[in-house]
Amino acid sequence: MLDGLRQHPPIKLGILASGSGSNFEAIAQAIADQHLNAHIQVVVYNNPGAKAADRAAKFGIPAVLHNHRDYAQREDLDRAIIQTFQDYDATWLIMAGWMRRVTQVLIDAFPQRCLNIHPSLLPSFPGTHAVEQALAAGVAIAGCTVHRVELKVDSGPIIMQAAVPILPGDSADTLHPRVQVQEHRLYPAAIALTAWQNLQHGHKI
């Protein structure tokens, strides 16, 4: 699979991040380590002071702030994101801790090339506080999911999942970091798998 992708020019990623950006950094590191044949064209973040912007600087990747508070409608923010991605020639939309609802306007601009990561085994526990929801429900296995993006929050065809056992005495503070270890492993692999699937189906990558 990876050999097929290596013969192709690097896929051109744009990242959306709201906060820490550890998933963004895991993708950037996978690219630097030549585990993923891609290039991150730009990072868009919506919260001033998001650590994702510092991580972008570390990798020499442009970071652009689109503060959602400056846009009257969700579609207005999404159109601004599309324009920025076009300006930086990003053809994939990778949501990495993007805590805003997106609209069909944004999804339609990246057909077959729009992914999200979520800290649960979807379809269980979509939305915010997924790790807390899993703990409150008393499940034995938590995890994370990378999926293609559809309009409903944290929904769409699943690309990859990883399971994380819940240990006695776990809290969100102890469980979420273990989920994130798996997220960081999963996301670069899921991007590569999606590109490969797209090639198999004759879609652009």
Q: Is 180 in the site for ligand GAR (CB under 6 A)?
A: yes
Q: Is 91 in the site for ligand GAR (CB under 6 A)?
A: no
Q: Is 185 in the site for ligand GAR (CB under 6 A)?
A: no
- The Cβ of residue 157 has, within 10 Å, a number of other Cβ atoms equal to 10
Give CA–CA dist 130/159, Å, rounded: 19
How many chain residues are in contact with ligand GAR, going by CB under 6 A?
A: 15
- 66 is a catalytic site residue: no
- Write the burial class of residue 161 (CB in 10 Å: 0-12 exposed, 13-18 middle, 19+ buried): middle
Give CA–CA dist 94/104, Å, rounded: 15
Contact 77, 102 (CB under 8 A): no
- Write the burial class of residue 139 (CB in 10 Å: 0-12 exposed, 13-18 middle, 19+ buried): middle
Q: Is 17 in the site for ligand GAR (CB under 6 A)?
A: yes
Q: Is 183 in the site for ligand GAR (CB under 6 A)?
A: yes
Site string for ligand GAR, 100-139 (x = CB under 6 A): -----------------xxx----------x---------
Give CA–CA dist 119/135, Å, rounded: 12
CB closer to ligand GAR, 23 vs 194: 23
Nearest to 82 by CA among 67, 69, 96, 66: 66
Q: Is 188 in the site for ligand GAR (CB under 6 A)?
A: no
- Write the burial class of residue 16 (CB in 10 Å: 0-12 exposed, 13-18 middle, 19+ buried): buried
> Minimal distance in Å, beta carbon 98 to ligand GAR?
7
Q: Is 84 in the site for ligand GAR (CB under 6 A)?
A: no
Q: Is 189 in the site for ligand GAR (CB under 6 A)?
A: no
Number of residue whose CB is nearest ligand GAR: 97
Which residue in 2, 10, 20, 181 binds ligand GAR (CB under 6 A)?
Answer: 20
Active site residues: 118
Positions that interact with ligand GAR (CB under 6 A): 17, 19-23, 96-97, 117-119, 130, 154, 180, 183
